[in-house]
Structure 1
Amino acid sequence: MAFTAAALSTLPAAAQDITAQSPQPQPEIVTGGDSLTVAVGVATLPDFEGSGSNRIIPAGLIRGSVSGINFSTRGAQLFVDLVPNAAGPGYDFQLGPVIGANFDRTRRKTIDNARVAALGERDTAIEVGGYVGLARTGVITSDYDTLAASVSYTQDINKAHKSYLITPQIDYGTPLSRKAYVGLSANAIYVGGEYADTYYSVTPAGSLLSTLPSYNAGKGWKNYSVTAFASYALTGDLLHGLSLVAGGSYSRLLGDFAESPIVRIAGDRNQLLGAVGLAYTF
Structure 2
Amino acid sequence: MIGRLALVGATLAFASPLAAQEAGDDDTTPPSYEGTVFDGDYLSVGAGIAYVPSYDGSDDYVISPLPIVQGSLGGVDINPRPGGVALDFIPDSDGSVDLSLGIAGRLQRNRASQIEDPVVRSLGELDTAIEVGPTAGISFPGVLNPYDSLSFSSDVRWDVAGAHEGMVVAPSVTYFTPLSRGIAASLTVSTNHVDGDYADYYYSVSPADSLVSGLPTFDADGGFKDVGVTLFMGFDLDGDVTNGGLAIAAIAGYSRLLGDFEDTPFTSIRGSADQFLVGVGLGYTY
* Pair in the same fold by TM > 0.5: yes
**Distance (whole Å) between structure 2 residues aligned to residue 82 and residue 222 of structure 1:** 29
Alignment correspondent of 2:92:
85
Alignment correspondent of 2:149:
146
Counterpart contact for 2:21–2:141, Cα < 8 Å: no
Measured after TM superposition, the shift of residue 112 of structure 1 is 1.0
Alignment correspondent of 1:180:
183
Q: Does 1:67 align with 2:67?
A: no
Q: Does 1:51 align with 2:51?
A: no
- Residues 261-282 of structure 1 show CA distances to partners (whole Å, capped at 9, x for unaligned) of 0100000001111110111111
Q: Does 1:171 align with 2:158?
A: no
- Residues 156-190 of structure 1 show CA distances to partners (whole Å, capped at 9, x for unaligned) of 01110010001111011001121110010011111
Alignment correspondent of 1:272:
276
Counterpart contact for 1:221–1:254, Cα < 8 Å: yes
Q: How does 1:221-232 map to 2 (within 5 A)?
A: 221-232=224-235
How many residue pairs get aligned? The number is 278
Give the direction of change, closer, same or farther, for the CA distance of 1:153–1:41 in structure 2 (3 Å limit). same
Q: TM-score if structure 1 supplies the norm length? A: 0.92
One-letter amino acid of the structure 2 residue matched with residue 250 of structure 1 = Y
One-letter amino acid of the structure 2 residue matched with residue 125 of structure 1 = A
Measured after TM superposition, the shift of residue 232 of structure 1 is 0.8
Counterpart contact for 1:137–1:143, Cα < 8 Å: yes
**Distance (whole Å) between structure 2 residues aligned to residue 16 and residue 75 of structure 1:** 22
Counterpart contact for 1:48–1:105, Cα < 8 Å: yes
Alignment correspondent of 1:251:
255
Alignment correspondent of 1:106:
112
Measured after TM superposition, the shift of residue 198 of structure 1 is 0.6
One-letter amino acid of the structure 2 residue matched with residue 259 of structure 1 = D
Quote the RMSD (CA, aligned, Å). Answer: 2.1
Alignment correspondent of 2:195:
192
Measured after TM superposition, the shift of residue 74 of structure 1 is 1.9
Measured after TM superposition, the shift of residue 15 of structure 1 is 6.1
Q: Does 1:96 align with 2:102?
A: yes
Measured after TM superposition, the shift of residue 11 of structure 1 is 3.0
Moved over 6 A (4+): none
One-letter amino acid of the structure 2 residue matched with residue 118 of structure 1 = S
Alignment correspondent of 1:260:
264
Q: TM-score if structure 2 supplies the norm length? A: 0.91
- Residues 31-58 of structure 1 show CA distances to partners (whole Å, capped at 9, x for unaligned) of 5110111111211111111000110122
User: Unaligned regions of 5+ residues in structure 2, if any?
Assistant: none
Q: How does 1:236-247 map to 2 (within 5 A)?
A: 237-239=240-242, 240-247=244-251
